[in-house]
Amino acid sequence: MKQLWKQWIKPQPLSESAYHQQVKQFGYAGQRQKDWIRFFVMLFIFGVFTFLFLSVFQGEVSFELSIFTIRIWEWMLAVFGGGALGVAGFLLQKVTRNNLADVSILGIGSLNIIFITIYIFRFYHDGVSNQELVRQFLPLITISSSILGTGIIYALAKLGQKSQDRFIIIGIGLQFLFEAISIAFVNPNNSGASSSKTSFVFTQINNFALGKFPTEINELAASFSWKLTTLASVVLICLIVGVVWILRRKIDIIEANENLAKSYGINVELIKFVIYFLVALLAGVEAAMIGTIALLGILAPNIAKIIFGNRSSTNVWASFLIGGSLVLLAAFISVNLVLDIPIGFLSTAVITPYFIYMIIRKRD
């Protein structure tokens, strides 16, 4: 622990040898200090968003406890959902060596929606306790479905001789296919269920498909089991980010050159498998928290890359923070300024122009 502090966290004074070391490592001196300053700025912005989100309610500042207790759960969903998407996009981009890979573009998100639809249709009966129960086990369903989706993509990437283009096109195709299947499922004429159940199920599925906070958040915030599930999801996300941080060096080396990594004694296939598994976990947990937020997973790691350069050690945290802040901003707007707009749509409207700019500006 002490060594960790000395080696990584404590800002070191620049002795001559340290200066040379840093120049060797990063190209110019004072990189770590600059990183810290950037992180503090990002944390400050994040804190401002947090403060705004927690204190302002429908255009007015209020610190009532009754609102705050609900707000804190929404905050948790927004930050950790966005963060999970950011980290998942970061990992996918590293492991496929393609800076346009994302959970939403590769069809994993749509597969999750299909499974959520089937699950809620099958297991929801009228009644509050049942609703809590459904919510409680939802993460398991989404995790297994996204493991399935990631497995498909992993298998395709293996079979497809590691060509990135194929990977992306196949992902887009799967995305459209799953979307069509979910539209065919979600059609109200399709089911013979009772009207109250149908309407509930459709609000739920809409919430997940568009990326909204749960409509019955008031009841959920009072339910112990739901809180427990959410906290477990949050802890899981934190653990995954920790695992990624432990693997940061290996990820960087694998991205740079697989043969080099093999000669260093890294088990490349195992690490790749672990990364895909982590992506599946992150996507599944996130799907049960907010739902689909398109393109966020592309954006967050790319902004992080612009700010920090291409280093896993900083970019894991940076993409987590950027993803969380963007979703938080979108949630703030959707709660206060324009009522009842899904977060997913709002953040997509913010993200897409930047995404287009990002693609056009880059020259191969």
Partner 1 sequence: MNSNQPEIFTFNRLKFNYQAPKKWRKYLVYALITLVGLIILMVITMINVRYANNGRFGFKELFYVFSTNNLFNNNKELLAQLPLDHNNPNNHHTFGSSGYVDLEPIKKAVWVSLASAVAGIGFAIAGSITQGLTNNPIADPTTFGITESAVFGAVVMNVLVGNLVHADIYQYVFLSFVFLGGAIAIWFILLIIKSGGAKKNHYLKITLVGLAIGIFFRTINFLLRSTNADAQKTALAAALGGGENMYSLYSSQYSILYLGLIFMSIALVLAVIFGWKLTVLELGENKAAALGVNTKIVKVVGLIIVLISVPVAVSLVGNVAFVGLFAPHVIRMLLRTRSYSIIIPLSALLGAITLSLGLTLHILYRSIPSSIYMVFIGAPMLIYLGWTQKG
Q: Which residues bind partner 1 (CB under 8 A)?
A: 100, 105, 160-161, 163-170, 172-174, 176-177, 179-180, 183-184, 187, 189-190, 210, 294-295, 338, 340-342, 345, 348-349, 352-353, 355-356, 359-360, 362-364
Q: 2 exposed, middle or buried (CB, 10 Å; 0-12, 13-18, 19+)?
A: exposed
Between residues 43 and 181, which has the closer beta carbon with respect to partner 1? 181
DSSP string of 26-80? Answer: HSSTTHHHHHHHHHHHHHHHHHHHHHHHHHEETTEE---HHHHHHHHHHHHHHHH
User: Tokens 């393609």 appear where?
Assistant: 98
68 or 345: CB nearest partner 1: 345
What is the 8-class DSSP label of residue 8? I
Q: CB 157 → partner 1: shortest distance, Å?
A: 12
Q: How far is the CB of 3 from partner 1 (least distance, A)?
A: 44
| Min dist. Cβ of residue 347 to partner 1 (A) | 9
| Nearest distance from C-beta of residue 207 to partner 1, angstroms | 14
Cβ closer to partner 1: 220 or 298? 298
> For residues 255 and 101, is the Cβ–Cβ distance under 8 A?
no
Give me the least distance between CB of 175 and partner 1, in Å please: 8
Nearer to partner 1, 89 or 139 (CB): 89
Contacts 24+ apart (CB under 8 A), 299-305: 299/89, 299/326, 299/351, 299/354, 299/355, 299/358, 300/82, 300/85, 300/86, 300/89, 300/90, 300/326, 301/86, 301/89, 301/90, 301/93, 301/99, 302/99, 302/358, 304/86, 304/90, 305/99
Nearer to partner 1, 100 or 221 (CB): 100
* Least distance in angstroms from the C-beta of 23 to partner 1: 35
Give least dist CB 16 to partner 1, A.
Answer: 45
State both tokens at 297: 């997973």
- Residue 33 or 163 with smaller CB distance to partner 1: 163
Which residue type is seen at 96?
T
Tokens encoding 137: 């086990």
Task: For partner 1, give the closer residue by CB, 56 or 181.
Answer: 181
Q: Rounded distance, CA 317 to CA 306, Å?
A: 14
